[in-house]
Amino acid sequence: MRTMLHLPLEIATAFFFAASVGIGAGIVATSYTHRLGDGLIAALLGFLVAAAGFGYALWRNYRPRSKTAIRRLRTA
């Protein structure tokens, strides 16, 4: 139960971290190319890549696990 109470906080944290990565990528692209359109595309791509990475990390931490998987490995 305690794990499920931490999940919304970690999702919000991952969202804000992904947004900051996207903003940073957009700033770097805009300052390099001096075009706002390229910065917006880089910001979107940076956000999507970071969100996918953080989402995968959250899924690995909070995925449902079978309690019988350990028993199957021991009996094999």
> For residue 66, what pLDDT is reported?
73
- 76 vs 72: CA distance, rounded Å: 6
> For residue 73, what pLDDT is reported?
58
* pLDDT tens by residue, the chain, 76 residues: 677 888 999 999 999 999 999 999 999 999 999 999 999 999 999 999 999 999 999 999 988 877 665 655 555 5
> For residue 65, what pLDDT is reported?
79
Q: Which residues contact 49 (CB under 8 A, 6 or more apart)?
A: 21
24 to 11, 47, 57, 64: CA distances (angstroms): 20, 9, 21, 34
At 28-45, the pLDDT tens digits run: 999 999 999 999 999 999
